[in-house]
C-alpha cells in the first residue's frame, strides 16, 4: 500500500487482572478523520488510547501506526492525556511542559534548540496561552491547563493525535477553542482520535464516531453511527438517561427530557 | 538556671575557635555535611516531585538488613560490599512495595509501612544473631556520627592523601548524582511529571524509576555513616520543599540545593558547637528552622505573602482567565 492508514487495529484484546477491558477490536482509521470515541464508563476508551501508544500491553492482536509498530512511529503521534493524570503542583512552567512535546524530535539527551523554543512558543500562541508561558502550571485554571496540554501535543508536530477527554472540566470558551483547533488540524490533513464523555455534543464536534463498549459496536460517519439503534447497543439499558439524545438521534422531539445526557 | 539548658552564647568560641584551633577537622566535618546535603538534596528533589518522600524513608530504614547481611558475608567494614548490600536492599524495597500494592488490595502507604518495618526488623534480627560482638553500632546506623569522620582511615589515591575515606566517597556520590541528573535530566523530568507522555515518547519509564531508586539507595548508604538512616530523610526532603517557597521551576530548585547545603552544614556545626550536641541533629534542626523561615517569608506560597496578597491575587487571576478564542 502506498499510504498506510494512520491507525490500524486488528483483533485487539486487552485485560486488567484477567478481566477483559477490550475484546476483539478491529478498526482502520483513514487519514484526515476527526473521530470521537464514545461509550459508557468502563467501556475501555482510555485503555484503547493507551494500548495504541504501547502504554498498556495487549493480550492479543496488534496496532499499526502508519503501517509500523508504535515504537517506530513515535514522532508521528501526539498525545493529550487526561488532565487529572498529572500533578499540577509539579515545579515546571507552562513553557517547560510544552517543550516536553519537542523531546520526541530532539532526542532525550540533546539540548532544546532555539527552533524548539520557537515552535513551542507558536503552539502556545495558537491556544492563546503565550502570555502565560513563564507561569507555574499550578496557577492555571482547568481550561488553561487543558490548553497547555493541547499546545504540547501541537508542539509534537504529529500526523496522528490521540486525545483522552480534552473537553472534561473546561470552561465554555476553552471548549469552543478546542473545537476550532480540532477542525483546523483536520483541515491540515491530520488524523484525530478523541475520547469524549458527552454524547450530546459529540454529534457537532466530530465527523466520525467510534462506539465502544468493550467491543467495537460501530465505527463510521456520524449519520451512520449516531442512530438510536447503535446508541442503544452501546449504552445498553441506560438509554432512559439518554432519552433526549436518542430523540435527537431519531430526529424526534417528543421524547421526555430526563436528566442530563452526560455520561 | 537557664544556663544549664542553654550554654552561654559566646560568638568567639562558637564561630571562631573551631576554625582557628582545629581547622582540618572542622573543615572535614563541614565538608562532609555539605556533600551529604548536596547529594541528598539533588536526588531528593526528584523524590519529592514524584511524591515518593515516604519511599525515601522506607529505603533508608531497609538499608539496615542490606548493610548487616553484607557485613555477615564479608565479615568486614568493606565499603564496596556495604554499598552493594544497600543498593540491593533499596531496589528490593521499591520492588516489594510495588508488588504488594499491585497484586493485592493493600494501599500504597500501608504497603510502604509493611515493607520497611519488615526489612528493618530483619536487619535487627541479623545484627542480634550474628553481629552481636562485632562493632556495628546501631546508634551509629540510626543517628550517625559526623564528628568522627575526620578520624576515619584516609583515602589514598596514587600517593596523594585525599582526606578521610567517607568524605571522598560522599563527594564521589554527590558528583555522580549531579552528573546523572544532568545527563538524564529530560528523562527524569518527563517520567516524573507525566509517565503517560514519557511512555508515548518511548522513554524507559520503569528503568528510570529503578535507576533513581538505586541512586537514592547509594546516596543514603554513603550518607548514613555521617547522619544516620533517620536524619538522612530530612536531608532528602528539606532542600526541595524549602527552595520551593522561592522558586517554582525544577532547575531553580536543584541549584538552590547548594547554598542550602552549605547553610545546613555550617549552621548545624556551629549550633552543635554552641549547645555541645549531636552535629547531625543540629544540622536537621537548622534545616527545620530554615524551612519555617521560608514557610513564613517565601514569596511563592509563604504564609505572610498569602494572607496579604490573597484578595488581590484572586482579582487579577480571575481577570486573566477571561475567555479567549483560538485565532
Residues B307-320: tens digit of each pLDDT:
765 555 554 444 44
Residue B226, CA atoms < 13 Å, CB-side half-sphere: 36
User: pLDDT class for A108, splitting at 50, 70, 90?
Assistant: low
* Mutate which: A80, A104, A108, A180, vs B, most B CBs within 10 A: A108
Cβ separation of B183 and A92 shorter than 8 Å?
no
> Mind telling me how many Å the CA of B284 is from chain A's nearest CA?
24
Which residues in A lie closer than 8 A to residue B204 (C-beta atoms)? none
Q: Which three cell numbers stand for residue B23?
A: 581547622
For A75-103, how does the pLDDT look when each residue is reduced to its tens digit (9 = 90+)? 888 889 888 889 898 999 999 999 998 88
Cβ atoms within 10 Å of B93's Cβ, excluding its own: 27
**Rounded Cα distance, A97 and A133, in Å:** 9
Please indicate if any CB of chain B lies within 8 Å of the CB of A98. Answer: no
**Angstrom distances, CA of residue A63 to CA of A13, A191, B75, B278:** 11, 16, 55, 61
Over range A180-191, report the average pLDDT.
90
B188 has pLDDT over 90 = yes
Residue B323 confidence (pLDDT): 43
Please indicate if any CB of chain A lies within 8 Å of the CB of B183. Answer: yes
Question: Which residue among B201, B249, B325 places its CB closest to the CB of A96?
Answer: B249
Cβ separation of B248 and A91 shorter than 8 Å?
yes
The answer to whether the beta carbons of residues B253 and A96 sit under 8 Å apart is no
B326 has pLDDT over 60 = no
User: pLDDT class for A1, splitting at 50, 70, 90?
Assistant: low
Question: Which residue among B190, B317, B324 places its CB closest to the CB of A128?
Answer: B324
* Mutate which: A47, A54, A73, A91, vs B, most B CBs within 10 A: A91
Question: Which residue among A53, A86, A139 places its CB closest to the CB of B200?
Answer: A53
**Rounded Cα distance, A190 and A186, in Å:** 5
For A17-38, how does the pLDDT look when each residue is reduced to its tens digit (9 = 90+)? 778 888 888 899 989 899 999 8
Cβ atoms within 10 Å of A243's Cβ, excluding its own: 16
Q: Within the 176-215 window of chain A, which residues sit less than 8 Å (CB to CB) from chain B?
A: 176-177, 180-181, 184
More confident residue, B14 or B260: B260
Which one, of B297, B51, B247, lies nearest residue A136 by Cα? B247
B232 has pLDDT over 90 = no
Which residues in B lie closer than 8 A to residue A171 (C-beta atoms)? 321, 323
Question: Which residue among A74, A96, A109 places its CB closest to the CB of B183?
Answer: A109
Cβ separation of B51 and A128 shorter than 8 Å?
no
User: pLDDT class for B224, splitting at 50, 70, 90?
Assistant: confident
Over range B207-215, report the average pLDDT.
89
Residue B217 confidence (pLDDT): 85
The answer to whether the beta carbons of residues B241 and B45 sit under 8 Å apart is no
Residue A258 confidence (pLDDT): 43
Cβ atoms within 10 Å of B243's Cβ, excluding its own: 24
Cβ separation of A91 and B249 shorter than 8 Å?
yes
For B49-85, how does the pLDDT look when each residue is reduced to its tens digit (9 = 90+)? 988 888 888 888 888 888 888 888 887 666 778 778 8
Residue B38, CA atoms < 13 Å, CB-side half-sphere: 21
Residue A69 confidence (pLDDT): 87
Please indicate if any CB of chain A lies within 8 Å of the CB of B199. Answer: yes
Cβ separation of B324 and A177 shorter than 8 Å?
yes
Which one, of B74, B72, B69, B100, lies nearest residue B86 by Cα? B69
Cβ atoms within 10 Å of B9's Cβ, excluding its own: 9
The answer to whether the beta carbons of residues A79 and A117 sit under 8 Å apart is no
Three-state secondary-structure class, residue A101: coil
Please indicate if any CB of chain B lies within 8 Å of the CB of A130. Answer: no
Asked if the ipTM is above 0.90, the reply is no
Which numeric CATH code is attached to A7-226? 3.40.50.300
Please indicate if any CB of chain B lies within 8 Å of the CB of A28. Answer: no
Please indicate if any CB of chain B lies within 8 Å of the CB of A56. Answer: no
- Name the CATH code of domain B18-318 (choices 1.20.58.340, 3.10.180.10, 3.40.50.300, 1.10.3470.10): 1.10.3470.10
Query: What is the percent of chain B where pLDDT is above 70?
Result: 87
**Rounded Cα distance, A25 and B67, in Å:** 51
A158 has pLDDT over 70 = yes
Please indicate if any CB of chain B lies within 8 Å of the CB of A61. Answer: no
Cβ separation of B248 and A181 shorter than 8 Å?
no
Question: Which residue bears the cell 568493606?
Answer: B78
Question: Over chain A, what is the mean pLDDT?
Answer: 83
Delimit the domains of chain A by residue range: 7-226, 231-263
Cβ separation of B326 and A177 shorter than 8 Å?
yes
Q: Per residue, what are the HEC states of chain B? A: CHHHHCCCCCHHHHHHHHHHHCHHHHHHHHHHHHHHHHHHHHHHHHHHHCCCHHHHHHHHHHHHHHHHHHHHHHCCCCHHHHHHHHHHHHHHHHHHHHHHHHCCCCCHHHHHHHHHHHHHHHHHHHHHHHCCCCCCCHHHHHHCCHHHHHHCCEEEECCEEEEEHHHHHHHHHHHHHHHHHHHCHHHHHHHHHCHHHHHHCCCCHHHHHHHHHHHHHHHHHHHHHHHHHHHHHHHHHHHHHHHCCCCCCHHHHHHHHHHHHHHHHHHHHHHHHHHCCCHHHHHHHHHHHHHHHHHHHCCCCCHHHHHHHHHHHHHHHHHHCCCCCCC
Please indicate if any CB of chain A lies within 8 Å of the CB of B314. Answer: no
Please indicate if any CB of chain A lies within 8 Å of the CB of B250. Answer: yes
Which one, of A80, A81, A36, A45, lies nearest residue A200 by Cα? A36
Q: Which class for A236: exposed (0-12), middle (13-18), buried (19 or more C-beta within 10 A)?
A: exposed
Please indicate if any CB of chain B lies within 8 Å of the CB of A173. Answer: yes
Which one, of A85, A7, A161, lies nearest residue B196 by Cα? A85
Cβ separation of B317 and A139 shorter than 8 Å?
yes
Q: Which three cell numbers stand for residue B236?
A: 532528602
Over range B208-213, report the average pLDDT.
89
Amino acid at each position: 500500500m502506498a499510504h498506510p492508514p494512520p491507525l490500524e487495529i486488528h483483533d485487539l484484546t486487552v485485560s486488567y487482572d484477567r478481566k477483559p477491558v477490550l475484546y476483539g477490536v478491529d478498526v482502520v482509521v483513514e487519514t484526515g478523520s476527526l473521530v470521537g470515541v464514545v461509550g459508557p464508563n468502563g467501556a475501555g476508551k482510555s485503555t484503547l488510547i493507551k494500548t495504541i501508544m504501547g502504554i498498556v500491553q495487549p493480550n492479543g492482536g496488534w496496532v499499526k501506526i502508519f503501517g509500523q509498530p508504535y515504537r517506530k512511529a513515535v514522532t508521528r503521534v501526539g498525545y493529550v492525556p487526561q488532565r487529572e493524570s498529572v500533578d499540577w503542583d509539579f515545579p515546571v512552567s507552562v513553557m517547560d511542559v510544552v517543550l516536553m512535546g519537542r523531546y520526541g524530535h530532539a532526542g532525550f539527551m540533546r539540548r532544546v534548540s532555539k527552533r524548539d523554543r520557537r515552535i513551542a512558543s507558536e503552539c502556545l500562541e495558537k491556544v492563546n496561552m503565550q502570555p502565560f508561558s513563564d507561569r507555574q502550571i499550578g496557577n492555571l485554571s482547568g481550561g488553561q491547563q487543558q490548553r497547555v496540554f493541547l499546545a504540547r501535543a501541537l508542539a509534537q508536530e504529529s500526523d496522528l493525535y490521540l486525545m483522552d477527554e480534552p473537553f472534561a472540566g473546561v470552561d465554555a470558551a476553552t471548549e469552543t477553542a478546542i473545537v476550532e483547533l480540532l477542525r483546523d488540524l483536520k483541515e491540515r490533513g491530520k488524523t484525530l482520535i478523541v475520547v469524549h464523555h458527552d454524547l450530546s455534543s459529540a454529534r457537532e464536534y466530530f465527523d466520525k464516531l467510534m462506539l465502544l463498549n468493550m467491543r467495537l459496536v460501530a465505527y463510521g460517519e456520524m449519520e451512520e453511527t449516531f442512530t438510536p439503534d447503535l446508541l442503544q447497543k452501546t449504552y445498553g439499558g441506560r438509554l432512559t438517561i439518554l432519552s433526549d439524545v436518542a430523540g435527537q438521534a431519531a430526529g424526534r422531539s417528543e421524547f421526555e427530557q430526563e436528566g442530563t445526557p452526560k455520561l | 538556671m537557664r544556663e544549664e539548658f542553654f550554654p552561654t552564647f559566646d560568638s568567639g568560641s562558637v564561630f571562631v575557635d573551631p576554625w582557628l584551633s582545629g581547622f582540618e577537622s572542622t573543615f572535614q566535618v563541614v565538608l562532609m555535611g555539605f556533600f551529604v546535603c548536596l547529594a541528598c538534596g539533588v536526588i531528593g528533589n526528584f523524590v519529592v516531585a514524584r511524591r515518593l518522600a515516604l519511599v525515601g524513608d522506607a529505603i533508608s530504614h531497609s538499608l539496615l538488613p542490606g548493610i548487616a547481611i553484607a557485613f555477615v558475608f564479608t565479615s568486614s567494614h568493606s565499603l564496596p560490599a556495604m554499598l552493594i548490600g544497600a543498593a540491593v536492599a533499596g531496589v528490593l524495597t521499591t520492588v516489594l512495595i510495588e508488588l504488594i500494592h499491585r497484586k493485592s488490595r493493600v494501599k500504597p502507604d500501608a504497603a510502604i509501612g509493611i515493607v520497611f518495618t519488615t526489612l528493618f526488623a530483619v536487619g535487627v534480627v541479623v545484627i542480634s544473631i550474628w553481629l552481636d560482638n562485632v562493632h556495628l553500632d546501631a546508634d551509629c546506623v540510626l543517628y550517625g556520627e559526623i564528628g568522627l569522620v575526620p578520624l576515619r582511615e584516609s583515602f589514598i589515591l596514587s600517593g596523594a592523601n585525599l582526606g578521610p575515606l567517607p568524605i571522598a566517597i560522599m563527594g564521589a556520590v554527590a558528583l555522580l548524582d549531579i552528573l546523572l541528573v544532568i545527563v538524564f535530566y529530560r528523562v527524569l523530568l518527563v517520567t516524573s511529571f507525566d509517565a503517560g507522555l514519557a511512555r508515548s515518547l518511548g522513554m524507559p519509564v520503569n528503568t528510570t524509576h529503578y535507576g533513581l531508586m538505586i541512586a537514592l539507595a547509594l546516596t543514603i548508604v554513603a550518607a548514613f555513616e555521617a547522619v544516620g538512616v533517620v536524619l538522612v530523610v530530612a536531608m532528602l526532603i528539606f532542600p526541595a520543599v524549602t527552595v520551593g517557597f522561592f522558586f517554582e521551576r525544577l532547575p531553580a530548585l536543584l541549584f538552590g540545593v547548594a547554598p542550602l547545603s552549605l547553610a545546613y552544614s555550617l549552621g548545624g556545626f556551629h549550633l552543635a558547637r554552641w549547645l555541645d550536641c549531636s552535629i547531625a541533629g543540629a544540622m536537621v534542626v537548622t534545616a527545620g528552622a530554615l524551612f519555617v523561615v521560608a514557610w513564613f517569608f517565601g514569596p511563592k506560597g509563604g504564609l505572610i505573602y498569602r494572607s496579604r496578597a490573597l484578595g488581590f491575587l484572586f482579582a487579577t487571576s480571575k481577570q486573566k482567565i477571561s475567555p479567549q478564542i483560538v485565532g
